[in-house]
Amino acid sequence: MRNLVIAGNWKMNGSQTFAQEMREALDNADFSERITTVVFPPFLAIHAMLGSGKFAVGAQNCYTEQSGAYTGEVSPELIADAGCQYVLVGHSERRTLLGETDQVVGKKVKLAVFAGLTPVLCVGETLDERESGNFKDVVEQQVVAGLKELNGDEVKQVVVAYEPVWAIGTGKTASADQAQEVHAHIRSVLNSAFDGAGDAISILYGGSVKSENAAELLGCADIDGGLIGGASLNSKEFITICRIAADSH
């Protein structure tokens, strides 16, 4: 059975006070044993979130080397050493705003696995790519490139997040049918590339998920959780989504 994961990506938000309040709220929540909850604070708030038995912590990015003269960068090894279990790789904001290529993403995924982290590989098409009709090819190419340095055992350590770019932070969500179609495609790509391993890999949906649409999306056969941006900044809303997820399986 696949792990059901609800992950909150705070992006470049989250003061020390915010982190403390979120931690208290999550520590007092009652869904933890039924799902895996992960928070992705900015680097400077990670420390405040570590050590809870109720949720895991991840970084929003990592570098393509494990150590050395790379001022300002943070390696997968350092992220794991700090106590994180997860790292986001290839988020669309990094691909579009910071020029992260598939090749860079593939290298980060490999190093993250090597450091013992679970990389959450983010993939998804732009609005133009959706409208041109070749969105499944685009997503397939991102999945294959992101995982191309892994073998069949290593790939089981990865979580994939399908996040259509046109749905991120826009309030527009993919319909359950649209999301399920791409999730099923990703699973079949994973199964053929890695000898059936796709059935064991959690594939999360991300893009304007909120408590009103979570149940429908999480009810789809190939949607194994959500990567939540804006709605993860409100503890009540995030916890409601976690509860919906816990009740959905």
Q: Measured from the CB of residue 161, what is the shortest distance to ligand PEP in angstroms?
A: 7
Q: Rule CB under 6 A: is residue 223 a binding residue for ligand PEP?
A: no
Phi first, then psi: give them for residue 180, nearest 5 degrees. -60, -40
Q: Which stretch binds ligand PEP (CB under 6 A): 16-24, 103-111, 163-171, 184-192?
A: 163-171
Q: Which stretch binds ligand PEP (CB under 6 A): 51-59, 67-75, 204-212, 235-243?
A: 204-212
Which residue blocks in the chain are alpha helix, DSSP H?
16-27, 43-49, 76-82, 92-97, 102-114, 127-132, 135-147, 176-193, 211-218, 235-248
Q: Rule CB under 6 A: is residue 168 a binding residue for ligand PEP?
A: yes
Joined together, the tokens standing for residue 98 give 């910071």
Q: Rule CB under 6 A: is residue 202 a binding residue for ligand PEP?
A: no
Phi first, then psi: give them for residue 4, nearest 5 degrees. -95, 120
| CB nearer ligand PEP, residue 9 or residue 118 | 9
Catalytic residue (one of 93, 129, 163, 237):
163
Q: Rule CB under 6 A: is residue 228 a binding residue for ligand PEP?
A: yes
Q: Is 237 in a helix, a strand, or coil?
A: helix
Q: Is 163 among the residues known to form the active site?
A: yes
Q: Is 91 among the residues known to form the active site?
A: yes
- Chosen residue from 75, 208, 213, 240 binding ligand PEP by CB under 6 A: 208
Phi first, then psi: give them for residue 142, nearest 5 degrees. -65, -40
Cβ atoms < 10 Å from Cβ of 14: 22
Nearest residue to 104 (alpha-carbon basis) of 90, 117, 91: 90
| CB nearer ligand PEP, residue 202 or residue 208 | 208
Where on the chain is the footprint of ligand PEP (CB under 6 A)?
9, 11, 163, 168-169, 206-209, 227-231
